[in-house]
Amino acid sequence: MNSKYLAEFLGTFWLVLGGCGAAVLAAKFPQVGIGFMGVALAFGLTVLTMAYAVGHISGGHFNPAVTTGQLVAGRIDTLDALWYVAAQVLGGIAGAAVLAMIASGASGFDLVASGFAANGYGAHSPGGYRLGAAFLSEFVMTFFFLIVILGSTSRRAPTGFGPLAIGLALTLIHLISIPVTNTSVNPARSTGPALFVGGWALQQLWLFWVAPLAGAIVAGIVWRLFEGGAAPASGDERQRARLKDT
């Protein structure tokens, strides 16, 4: 496997295992549960740590929406983008599989009844938010996530701080939107748990592909306006180079 795609697989694996794992295993742990704030921090830390670990290899996307935004912004070519997305989805499924095996080691654990950190709206939203609110939340949060990513990895941004800004942005996004949808902004993160929960989670999965991808596309278009409408000559190599400097 190409090292870039392996890096994307491992990064997304770690994101799902770390972020969803915090939600499933630690959020409501008796007396010392980490709650929403802990889960938000866990998601941010997964991206932060893997961006520093393998960002210099692949650019550190770990998310089909991020790859889509990078594609629209002209930082990655179409073939690479397709392979990135495939690696990310497989990584998300593998991370969810390992988490399911760990969680099932507790007596009485019911994977489906637990919700398994799956994303949802309506009756399956933590706060009971309807479809329209869930879609808007995922769209806007992903849009701003991509703006932070594209901006913090720009050639004009301070060197070395990209992963930190991106990790903190993802933490903030979760602090805002966990009550709305359990926070996706990442179709691969949503797909892994949904496959194990089945039923409603698979029926609602479409939103957690469509809304994040739409937000990412708009962010990519906006960023090209910021850059004067011209795609960077070196494509994704420039982003990897900036992360390598960290």
Among 222, 242, 223, CA closest to 234: 242
pLDDT of residue 174: 98
Residue type, 53: A
Residues 6+ apart with CB under 8 A from 84: 4, 5, 8, 58, 61, 64, 67, 76
Contact 49, 42 (CB under 8 A): no
Neighbours of 244 (CB within 10 A): 11
Total of domains in the chain: 1
Q: Which CATH number characterizes residue 171's domain? A: 1.20.1080.10
Distance (Å, whole) CA 153 – CA 151: 5
Contact 96, 45 (CB under 8 A): no
Outline where 24-108 has alpha helix (H).
35-58, 64-72, 78-103
Pick out the chain residues at pLDDT < 50.
Answer: 230-235, 237, 241-242, 244-246
pLDDT of residue 159: 75
Interhelix angle 35-58/3-15, nearest 10 degrees = 180
- CA of 27: how far to CAs of 36, 40, 42, 155, 200, in Å? 7, 10, 10, 38, 22
pLDDT of residue 245: 43
Which domain does 50 fall in, by range? 3-244
pLDDT of residue 91: 98
pLDDT of residue 246: 41
What six digits make up the tokens of 58? 């692949």
What six digits make up the tokens of 4? 């870039």
